[in-house]
Chain A
């Protein structure tokens, strides 16, 4: 029984570290984004609250807590209040299966740097993702506002469309590692990071991620010219803050998952000798991806909705399907010949396939212009 309490304490501490780490990450990601965007646009960005504006997120949080929250008269009150909660919970729990570093020894016991190592971790991520669409569609519907409803259903349709390419993106690393566990997938990248074998898979996964978290250039909910603010038009105060938080935590989460699947997770030089380096490498890689997200936002204009759907269905989906099959062929060739060099068949063939399909599908995706 004493052992159980120790375990429960360990789980609680790890969960709290993860939750508050993500919330803190969210707060400073907003500042990071504003600063970086400002640099891209030759501005300074927030610099009033504290030195270099580092207290800006705290000021924002205090402001949001003291804001008046409106509930539209004709809104469905229960769902209106529950929707932000069901949006934020999946964002907080999705990283439970991601290892942040190798096992470390602390207080005489081995501490694993993940919440849980499931043997179906990839499926866990997929199921949490599939649940996370409800918060958005329900927020839109319960507001009883035509822009919010349309925004909610559009975002949902967008998310489910890109979920296909996302789901198929997982299959490449699984084929290479033979494991559905993210701990297993990271261990399999001890020598070679999977993005070298899966350049197309990693790229598709990354693009689908941008759409999945509604980031630029796929930020339909924020297409203010068309939909005011999309599904969260009617939300204010802390309820709005929860949607905002979910969006930014999801950015961190998908970056962390992409790093784990394709870029070796916490692996890096000397990590086996000094396990403490693991979380550090992980953090550096995740920040690099977050920077990439902001960069994309600063560079690319928003895609029109019909083209966005065509892009997901006619380009990303066929390419990711082909990527999976060609990866399987490559691994099959290794199995038949027994020569590991055949693994390089995968990047060569998938890149050729990618170029071929994107050449032919170009017209189909842009074909919305009549």
Chain B
């Protein structure tokens, strides 16, 4: 049990530091790299929770595929070379206000639910393995699964429409 807590806290430090690093990096490529570390830390959380399939999907899809897209976009825009653009006067107060709101919200949720957090449940053997994920996903959640294909289709068409003008010269 104590090893779990040490692991949890260690990972929390990695996750929070990498998230902060992503926010405060001047260079967009560094931000992307910090985000990859962050995604990987979260993947390890899934692993601790007994969901290896989701953990490795997190790495394959998020840390792998989506971050490649981010890096391509950063290079496409040349964003890593542009210096700091001066912030507008309203950006800082707005950001602080929204941040404060988020903290208040979280505190409210934590303190109102302090005694009603769900207790950790014992993980049954074989939980979260690909076979079980498959059985549930392709039986009980068939409709969401099919709708995913439509979402992917929309995303594909969107990307093509956005770049098409430049493709057909």
Tell me if A126 counts as interface (CB < 8 A to partner B): yes
Q: Looking at the assembled complex, report how far the CB atom of B66 sits from the nearest CB atom of chain A, in whole angstroms.
A: 10
Tell me the bound Cα distance from A123 to B58 in angstroms.
10
A79-B29, A156-B68, A160-B65 are known contacts. Are A131 and B59 too (CB-CB below 8 A)?
yes
Residue ID in chain A nearest B57 by CB atoms: A123
Decide if B60 touches A123 in the complex (CB within 8 Å): yes
Decide if B52 touches A119 in the complex (CB within 8 Å): yes
Which of chain B's residues have a CB closer than 8 A to the CB of A76? Answer: 27, 29
In chain A between 116 and 157, which residues have their CB closer than 8 angstroms to a CB of chain B? 118-120, 123-124, 126-127, 129-131, 133-134, 137-138, 141, 149, 153, 156
Residue ID in chain A nearest B55 by CB atoms: A120
Residue ID in chain A nearest B66 by CB atoms: A130
Decide if A134 touches B36 in the complex (CB within 8 Å): yes
In chain A between 26 and 78, which residues have their CB closer than 8 angstroms to a CB of chain B? 76
Q: Which of B64, B71, B75 contacts A127 (CB 8 A)?
A: B64
Tell me if B158 counts as interface (CB < 8 A to partner A): no
In chain A between 179 and 236, which residues have their CB closer than 8 angstroms to a CB of chain B? 180
Decide if A127 touches B68 in the complex (CB within 8 Å): no
Which of chain A's residues have a CB closer than 8 A to the CB of B59? Answer: 127, 130-131
Tell me the bound Cα distance from A160 to B71 in angstroms.
13
Not counting A127-B56, A156-B68, a sample of 7 additional A-B residue pairs whose C-beta atoms are within 8 angstroms of each other reads A76-B27, A118-B52, A120-B129, A127-B64, A130-B60, A134-B68, A156-B72
Please give the residue numbers on chain B whose beta carbons come within 8 Å of chain A beta carbons, in ascending order: 27, 29, 33, 36, 52-53, 56-57, 59-60, 63-65, 67-68, 71-72, 75, 80, 129-130
Tell me the bound Cα distance from A149 to B80 in angstroms.
13
Q: A76, A124, A127, A129 — which one has the most chain B CB atoms within 10 A of its CB?
A: A127
Tell me the bound Cα distance from A149 to B74 in angstroms.
13
Tell me the bound Cα distance from A134 to B64 in angstroms.
9
Tell me the bound Cα distance from A133 to B72 in angstroms.
12
Q: Looking at the assembled complex, report how far the CB atom of B58 sits from the nearest CB atom of chain A, in whole angstroms.
A: 8
A119-B52, A130-B63 are known contacts. Are A137 and B130 too (CB-CB below 8 A)?
no
Decide if B56 touches A130 in the complex (CB within 8 Å): no
Decide if B68 touches A137 in the complex (CB within 8 Å): yes
Residue ID in chain B nearest A133 by CB atoms: B68
Decide if B60 touches A120 in the complex (CB within 8 Å): no
Residue ID in chain B nearest A153 by CB atoms: B75
Decide if B29 touches A141 in the complex (CB within 8 Å): yes
Decide if B71 touches A137 in the complex (CB within 8 Å): yes
4 closest A-B pairs by CB: A130-B64, A127-B59, A123-B56, A127-B60
